[in-house]
Structure 1
Amino acid sequence: MYTAADLRKGLKITIDNEPYIITHFDFAKPGKGQALYRTRMKNMISGLTMDRTYRSGETFEPAHLEDRRMQYLYQEDDHCVFMDTETFEQIHISEAAMGDAKNYLIDNLMVDVLIFREKAIGVDVPNFVNLRVTQTDPWVKGDTSGSDSKPATVETGYVLRVPPFIEEGELITIDTRTGDYSTRVKE
């Protein structure tokens, strides 16, 4: 059990049988009375945020989360299918629970699947992934009137801005934390 004094940014707790992560934390000690702990929390299943204030002495149950290393297999309707490479167990995760991670999934990509009470609630992809550009406008050499980037679509359907020298068919590295182009991969 955690107490209010244990609260801090990044702590994962269970409220009403759902996991929450504290995204903002503030401690206040008024002149009289008990200390106050103001928090902003994000529901790790629905993504909704809420603000709550707690007094010293209140207790919380830790969110028992498990990370399982799994391999992305394929898309089935509005779910993604992952396989545990040790037990060969397969699980389905809805696209809604995936968040932005669905933009970077390619066959056989190893990811960390977050499990809460035997239910998959999210996916952590690697910080950088290599994806092939499937569509982008050609760059006209000497064209200095345009901007320093152009839209490009990668093999997963994700659209991002890339430098003008990137062409269709090239492999690029994308930073999954920001969704931005990182570098061109030498093949």
Structure 2
Amino acid sequence: MIAASDLKAGMTFEQDGKLIKVLEASHHKPGKGNTVMRMKLRDVRSGSSTETTMRPEEKVKKAHIESKAVQYLYSQDDIANFMDLETYEQYEIPTSIIEEELKYILENMEVKIQFYGSEVIGITLPTTVVLKVVETQPSIKGATVTGSGKPAKMETGLVVNVPDFIEEGESLEINTQEGTYLKRAAK
């Protein structure tokens, strides 16, 4: 068992027969009354999200989640296909479960697949990925890093706000936790 005050973003716990992933967690001290934990949670199996509060001393059962390195192969008919790099065993995951994560991965990219027992519940992305810009407005002459930026569509369909000097065809390093541009990728 784990106290609600110890829950952090990314952790998974069991509650009422459901598998719940913490998306955001923060302490909140209202003007009157006791401290509460404000949390944004997602039901891993159904994909539904909810916001709730818990008392810091409230206990939940931490779920034992295992990870395994896999390679993303392809997506077809609402199914994403992955292959274990050691055993060559293949896993199929409905794209509805990993819809957001698919915006950051290309074919043959390595990710970690998450298991709850023998059930596949999702994937873990690397902290950063390198993606190529396929569509953006032309660069502005004399543009600096401090400009307001412009949207750029990446090769996976992800849209990221980038500095004005970025052009189509450039490879960029993208933060997968926040979905933000970090820098140009080394050539």
Common fold: TM-score over 0.5 = yes
* Counterpart residue identity of residue 108, structure 1: N
In structure 2, the residue matched to 1:180 is 180
Per-residue Cα deviation, 1:74-106 (whole angstroms, up to 9, x for no partner): 111222111111111111112221142111111
In structure 2, the residue matched to 1:31 is none
**Does the Cα contact within 8 Å between 1:69 and 1:110 map onto a contact in 2?**
yes
In structure 1, the residue matched to 2:31 is none
Question: Which moves more between the two structures, 100-109 or 36-45?
Answer: 36-45
User: RMSD value over aligned CA atoms?
Assistant: 3.2
Q: 1:67: Cα distance to partner?
A: 1.0
Counterparts of 2:26 and 2:150, CA distance in 1:
39
Counterparts of 1:25 and 1:148, CA distance in 2:
30
Cα gap change, 1:135/1:97 in structure 2, threshold over 3 Å: closer, same or farther? same
Counterparts of 2:39 and 2:143, CA distance in 1:
48
Equivalent residue runs for 1:81-96 within 5 Å: 81-96=81-96
**Does the Cα contact within 8 Å between 1:70 and 1:82 map onto a contact in 2?**
yes
Cα gap change, 1:165/1:50 in structure 2, threshold over 3 Å: closer, same or farther? closer
Gaps of 5+ in 1: 27-35
Cα gap change, 1:25/1:142 in structure 2, threshold over 3 Å: closer, same or farther? closer
Cα gap change, 1:152/1:50 in structure 2, threshold over 3 Å: closer, same or farther? closer
Question: Match of 2:167, SS?
Answer: coil
In structure 1, the residue matched to 2:77 is 77
* Counterpart residue identity of residue 115, structure 2: I
* Counterpart residue identity of residue 131, structure 1: L
Counterparts of 2:40 and 2:142, CA distance in 1:
51
Gaps of 5+ in 2: 28-34
Cα gap change, 1:158/1:39 in structure 2, threshold over 3 Å: closer, same or farther? closer
In structure 2, the residue matched to 1:102 is 102
1:8 aligns with 2:6: yes
* Counterpart residue identity of residue 168, structure 2: E
**Does the Cα contact within 8 Å between 2:5 and 2:37 map onto a contact in 1?**
no
**Does the Cα contact within 8 Å between 1:9 and 1:25 map onto a contact in 2?**
no
Work out which of the two has the higher radius of gyration on C-alpha atoms and give 1 or 2.
1
* Counterpart residue identity of residue 157, structure 1: G
Counterparts of 1:108 and 1:183, CA distance in 2:
23
Question: Match of 2:107, SS?
Answer: coil
Question: Which moves more between the two structures, 95-104 or 12-21?
Answer: 12-21
| Count of aligned positions | 176
1:65 aligns with 2:65: yes
Q: 1:62: Cα distance to partner?
A: 3.6
In structure 2, the residue matched to 1:49 is 50
Counterparts of 1:98 and 1:89, CA distance in 2:
19
Question: Match of 1:97, SS?
Answer: coil
Q: 1:18: Cα distance to partner?
A: 2.3
In structure 2, the residue matched to 1:32 is none
Counterparts of 1:150 and 1:132, CA distance in 2:
15
Cα gap change, 1:182/1:38 in structure 2, threshold over 3 Å: closer, same or farther? closer
Per-residue Cα deviation, 1:123-173 (whole angstroms, up to 9, x for no partner): 1111110011111121242579xx531121111111111111111111111
